[in-house]
Structure 1
Amino acid sequence: MAKRPPEPPWDEARLKAESLALGFSAARICRVDEAWAAADHLADFVAKGYFGQMQWMEDTLYRRQHPTHMWAEARSALVLALNYGPQHNPLPLLERRQEGVISVYAQNADYHDVMKKRLKQIARGYAQSTGHDVKVFVDTAPLMEKPLAHKAGIGWQGKHTNVVSREFGSWLFLGVMLTAAKLTPDEPEVDHCGSCRKCLDICPTKAFVNPYELDARRCISYLTIEHKGAIDRALRPLMGNRIYGCDDCLAICPWNKFAQTAQESAFHPRPELKGALLADLSDLDEAGFREVFRGSPVKRIGRERFIRNVLIAIGNSAEPGLIPAAERHLSDGAASIRLSAVWAIAQLDQAYAHTLKARHYEGEADSAVREEWDLI
């Protein structure tokens, strides 16, 4: 019987080969036991209050500033990227005002689940064969994956603060395996943005204070996903029909001309999550919301924030036929939903909003909702 050839060693080449074989789009290595400018950039972001309600960013600032602050033994990182490029440019969907636009990355499976399973498989094989300690991360711990991707040569952090790749444009998910081993690093990528500022200029809410500097408090992705409660009145009209996330700054990037459609079927849009009618989405009760968004990142924000977003989109639709969809929520148990319903109806028909005020104002116990009625 022929002898089985010996397994190749788990060196840098095998780490990358195994990663690509599992479906990752890119795999590169960097050292993490060196100083980097990302620490100061994050401290400045927090000091200026740009994190909004994301209090954990301030609470975990020290740990976030450097990988070794979180794990002192860390010496190297395997940085993995997974392409989620859409089949079509998502920007034209913003003109279909009776439909709700969900960010490309959230139109099917939760990428955390898809990536972490594969990343753990790589880490397990490496740790068992080499004896080196490892830890894996997919955007769920205080680790700055984007600067690591830049340092490893996956891409560079563009002016929109997201990673841009010459192969995949702005459509990459990132995962990291930290290890105590001292691996040979790859060359970092250089910034290829040049004088382009398309990602900055397209932002509906002008959330970019400067190139490479984002005030999350004005970002539609933050507002629709992280922000709890009512959204500032000045920002609501700028949100259009975006009900979960915002792809504008990603989709406009000129490097997307080299982008590839995602090969991973879990990132192909589910029909019910792409171009769903606002009228149908507004009807979702708690059980319906959980059913429609089972396995999707959207489920994590909960029904209250989601329906709030849908109502703002209804208010921006210029379609009076959607008033009944908003009116049904004037008696919702969540104040932020009632408030958003008041605003949406007033946007579509001021006179009818006055009529409804006479029916609902006196029975409204929440001061913020009453203030919204007062503005009609």
Structure 2
Amino acid sequence: MMRAGRHRAVPSAQVVVAALFVIAILPAGATVLAPLALAFLALALLWPVQHRVQTFLPRYIALLVTLAVMMLALLAFGWIFTWSFGRVGGWMVDNTARFQQHYDELRRWLEDHGIDVDVIWADNVGTASVMRVVQTVTSRVNSTFSFWLIALTYLLLGLMEVEGFESRIKTMQNPVARKLLLDGSRETAQKLRRYMRIRTIMSIATGLFIWLFTSGFELPLAKEWGVIAFVLNYIPFIGPLVATLLPTAFALIQLDNWQSAIAIFLGLNIIQFTLGSYIEPRVSGNALSLSPVVVLFSVFAWGYVWGIFGAFIGVPISIALVTFCRHHPSSRWVSELLGRGSEADRGGVST
């Protein structure tokens, strides 16, 4: 009995050590692993498109069509992102005098309370700080370009290898590993597609409601605030928070009325809470199979590891991990612990 217990403890210790090792190398391997995670998510979303196109077009032509669809979607998303923030930035430039007035008022208030703004600016803003900002922006642009290039390469190779990889899994001698990889991959892909579909629908609804709400207050750039809410809503918790604070700060400057700004802040939060915390979980059903605490932890933990991209990809990664854990007897307890505990989630593959 003691010998058998010791034999069972060894694999568990190895799993813990391996998990800690993987967690330790995640930040260091962000250049390679983060694009790989994005490529897997894109692969789950795009493979059904390529599979359908392959029914009436040659394989490589279907691959080009699939990549074209992805590029068009990314260009459209990037255009509306640039348009909305560009419009807000343009409005700020056109109303520089108003911002200067508010800055002078704030400066006088601070000086009346013994805070010298000129000293603060002299200590914290200078040529060196400007150069650091320029270097940081340049580095981010270069790393972003490399990130998308690596992710696109992973995706291209993945789309070419899906069918071959599935065939190799089916010929594996280990039936447990074969079933884990096949069922886990299929269900994970289904859940990720459903998650992104529901996230897109709820983001559109959030953007529309925020557009109508800010229009009711006659807040300038109402359409732009709606589009910004739509874009940022893809990042759970963090995105909606930013999409709420930006119009509130704008209203505080534009309306010169803190009561209206507070009303806008409360209204935006009610919209975000109702759609994101009440309606979306009921619409998504088993698409997440995660408890709200795990969703929140996934956003902040992966955001800490990989930055803003980690906050975006954190929930899909957790969905994949929990789904695969449920398909193996030794790790099913992880799914039961971190999941939502629904009967359908315990019963097997969702449809």
The TM-score range, normalised by the shorter chain, is under 0.3
Structure with higher helix content: 2
Bigger Rg over Cα? 2
TM-score, normalised via structure 1 length: 0.25
TM-score, normalised via structure 2 length: 0.26
